[in-house]
Amino acid sequence: MSASRRLPRNEDRQLDPRLPGHQRASPFVGDAIAGDTIAAMSANLLEDPDYDLFCQQKLRDLYPFFARLREQDPVHWCAPLNMWLVTRYDDVFEGLRDTTRLSASREAMYTDPLRPENRPRARPVIEHLNRWLLNVDPPRHTRLRKLVNLAFTPRFVQRLAPRIEQMVHELLDATCRHERCDFIETFCLPLPARVICTMLGIPPEREEQYRRCVEGMLPFSSAGGPGLNDTIDQARACLEELIDFFDRLIAERRQAPHDDLISAMAAAEEDGDLLTRDELFAMCVFLFLAGHETTMGLLASGTLALLENPTQFAMLKANLDEMLETAVEEFVRYESSVTRGARCALVDFNLRGKQIRKGQTLTHLIGAANRDPSQFPDPDRLDITRHPNKHLSFGQGIHFCIGAPLARMEAHIAFRAIATRLPNLQLATDQVTYKPAMGIRSLEALPVRVS
Ligand code: HEM
């Protein structure tokens, strides 16, 4: 079941405070609020019909709900999801950076919601997820990140630019052959997949298998709460197929290196230290998941934002060189495709008067922080000239997105091409639907009229 959202034109939404998505600056931001007031507000939240929908990952428009959370109970214990929800910019910023009180390990987040009879079946999947760079703490994280950085260099990313440019134009050529199409299918979905496969060095005839299996892990890796129980079998089957897939490919690349990331990561060495087979395998799986759905989300939601805000689209078309960079940063802020940074408490501590217990999960809601009026004036407005724009969409601290330069470069090339080659692009729906996964915000489809 997906979450769909009817589309009032965004520019109308800003004018009419009764429409969903409109938000007034909170009278509570930064104010001290008495304890009994907080309790009353928290009770209000529980009665909020959006609350259940959010927990079931079916909430259409996240932002009015996020605003209520941020104002009424910024560090909120969410019993159905068994986790704290943290929503204010400052708290999310600090939480993502904190490696003293918080761990990036998701062991508890994945294990706790599982019914006891399901735990042994899920074990191999959780062991694999525990090796993903994002889920590892220092000192292991420091070592892994150093080795991956040796391969995933700015020069390596820059060298991909001409190939990305070519892919963008090929996909737009195909898009332009339709009068109407689903822009996700023709452009936003295939582009990042091709880029990552090319970058890693997945042979073209094996791309489809790789993509299918990695995506099959997503319902488990990005779900939360009791829904995890229903996703184990699929994740296990995909994991087993992937192990087989990469055992062969990594062996081939070790024997005969190519100019690709798998070969570079296999060769990356610091003081005699190399990535192990399991670490390299985990990296190959995680890079696709980390970079595909996220970049697809950015391309799709950025396009949607432009189509919902025709004045901003016109401004971008007329001032492409001057505004492209700030426009892309604004797309990244406005609809953050990674919605949360999850951490586990290593110790008991107090956060805004709430007692956090060791072992509990804190979910830092990046999308809520990115719309915090204390940091972003008029946060629900798309403003392609916004500056400064210190969004948290690529994270903060030691886990800051390693793929951010690639995602930005891809988005710059893509939106330049969209603005010049598809100047008359229009939405062909009044309702968009988001996939239900909790950790990633990505549209199911984006029906457009091309000419
Ligand atoms: C619009 C696109 C993208 C967004 C919004 C995004 C967002 C993020 C965020 C928020 C984090 C940190 C999460 C946390 O601290 O819990 C992260 C980490 C990461 N991202 Fe991205 N990402 C994007 C694209 C990519 C791409 C293209 C790649 C690689 C191909 C990539 C690879 C990674 C990796 C490996 C990490 C883990 C880094 C670490 O733990 O040290 N991402 N990303």
pLDDT band at residue 8 using 50, 70 and 90 as cut-offs: low
The ligand 1 atom at the shortest distance from the C-alpha of residue 400 is 12
Average pLDDT over the chain, rounded to an integer: 90
Task: Using most ligand atoms within 8 A of CB, pick from 130, 294, 336 the residue to mutate for ligand 1.
Answer: 294
The ligand 1 atom at the shortest distance from the C-alpha of residue 135 is 40
pLDDT tens digits for range 97-115: 999 999 999 888 889 889 9
Distance separating alpha carbons of residues 264 and 7, to the nearest angstrom: 45
Pocket of ligand 1 (CB under 6 A): 96, 133-134, 145, 196, 287, 290-291, 294-295, 298, 337-338, 341, 393-395, 399, 401-403, 406-407
Q: Residue 147 pLDDT > 80, yes or no?
A: yes
How far, rounded to the nearest angstrom, does the alpha carbon of residue 144 sit from its chain's CA centroid? 21
Q: Residue 1 pLDDT > 50, yes or no?
A: no
Task: Give the per-residue pLDDT at 270.
Answer: 85
Task: Give the per-residue pLDDT at 310.
Answer: 97
Task: Give the per-residue pLDDT at 166.
Answer: 98
Question: Measuring from atom 12 of ligand 1, which residue has the nearest CA?
Answer: 395
Name the percent of the chain lying above pLDDT 70: 90
Q: Residue 13 pLDDT > 60, yes or no?
A: no
Cα 134 to ligand 1 centre (Å): 8
pLDDT band at residue 276 using 50, 70 and 90 as cut-offs: very high
Task: Using most ligand atoms within 8 A of CB, pick from 288, 301, 401 the residue to mutate for ligand 1.
Answer: 401
Q: Residue 31 pLDDT > 50, yes or no?
A: no
Q: Residue 10 pLDDT > 80, yes or no?
A: no
Q: Residue 242 pLDDT > 70, yes or no?
A: yes
Judged by DSSP in three states, 6 sits in: strand
Extract the runs of DSSP E, i.e. beta strands, from 172-293.
180-182, 269-270, 273-274
Using CA atoms of 204, 402, 365, 55 in order, give the dihedral in degrees to the nearest 10. Answer: 30
Q: Residue 14 pLDDT > 90, yes or no?
A: no
Q: Cis ω on the peptide bond leading into residue 388 (within 30° of 0)?
A: yes
- Where does residue 397 fall: left (phi above 0), alpha (psi -120 to 50 degrees), or beta otherwise? left
- What is the distance between the terminal CA atoms of the chain, rounded to a whole angstrom? 32
Predicted TM-score of the model (pTM): 0.90
Task: Give the per-residue pLDDT at 7.
Answer: 64
The ligand 1 atom at the shortest distance from the C-alpha of residue 286 is 35
DSSP 189: T
Reading the block at residue 401, the tokens are 């997105």
Looking at per-residue confidence, does 193 or 14 come out higher?
193
Question: Measuring from atom 37 of ligand 1, which residue has the nearest CA?
Answer: 134
| Angle between helix 404-421 and helix 277-308 axes, rounded to 10 deg | 30
Cα 408 to ligand 1 centre (Å): 12
Q: Which fold would CATH assign to domain 3-449?
A: Cytochrome p450 (1.10.630)
Reading the block at residue 248, the tokens are 């062969």
pLDDT band at residue 224 using 50, 70 and 90 as cut-offs: low
DSSP 399: G
Distance separating alpha carbons of residues 84 and 79, to the nearest angstrom: 8
The ligand 1 atom at the shortest distance from the C-alpha of residue 292 is 27
Task: Give the per-residue pLDDT at 435.
Answer: 85
pLDDT tens digits for range 316-370: 999 999 999 999 999 999 999 999 999 999 999 999 999 999 999 999 999 999 9
Judged by DSSP in three states, 261 sits in: helix
Distance separating alpha carbons of residues 212 and 122, to the nearest angstrom: 20
Reading the block at residue 104, the tokens are 């990036």
Q: Residue 17 pLDDT > 80, yes or no?
A: no
The ligand 1 atom at the shortest distance from the C-alpha of residue 199 is 30
Cα 400 to ligand 1 centre (Å): 7
The ligand 1 atom at the shortest distance from the C-alpha of residue 342 is 16
10 Å CB burial of residue 259 (0-12, 13-18, 19+) is exposed
DSSP 244: H
Q: Residue 20 pLDDT > 50, yes or no?
A: no
Chain position carrying tokens 């204010």: 88
pLDDT band at residue 36 using 50, 70 and 90 as cut-offs: low
Q: Residue 274 pLDDT > 80, yes or no?
A: yes
Name the percent of the chain lying above pLDDT 90: 78
Judged by DSSP in three states, 3 sits in: strand
- Going by C-alpha positions, the residue among 191, 385, 212, 217 that lies closest to residue 300 is 191
